Amino acid sequence: MKKIVVRQTKLAVLEIIQGGKVLFKGNTNEIKEHYGVGQNKINQWRGHGYEIEKGRVPRPTTIYAKTVGHVYG
């Protein structure tokens, strides 16, 4: 009998931040469901997060994401 292998995908756990306050924390699939956005928008928020980590000062209305870790699911 063959053993069925279920592939576990590696999902990033992100904090969505705006104006210095954490709005939402969860993996990428949860963020997509909560905000109704696609992967492109999440990638854009992550890009803003990298810029801010390098020293750029965000506007109060800028939404960005910081990577907290990874989860398999």
**55-68 pLDDT per residue, tens:** 999 999 999 999 99
What pTM did the predictor assign? 0.83
26: in domain: yes
* Sequence-separated (6 or more) residues with CB below 8 Å from residue 34: 24, 26
Tell me how far apart the alpha carbons of residues 18 and 29 are, in angstroms, rounded to a whole number: 20
43: in domain: yes
Sequence length of the chain is 73
What confidence score (pLDDT) does residue 53 get?
93
pLDDT, tens only, 1-49 = 677 767 788 899 999 999 999 999 999 999 999 999 999 999 999 999 9
When divided into structural domains, the chain yields a total of 1
60: in domain: yes
Q: Which residue shows structure tokens 């803003």?
A: 48
2: in domain: no
Tell me how far apart the alpha carbons of residues 39 and 2 are, in angstroms, rounded to a whole number: 35
3: in domain: no
What confidence score (pLDDT) does residue 47 get?
96
Q: Residue 41 belongs to what domain range?
A: 10-72
Where are the alpha helices (H) located in 3-57, listed in sequence order?
Answer: 28-35, 39-53
What confidence score (pLDDT) does residue 9 get?
87
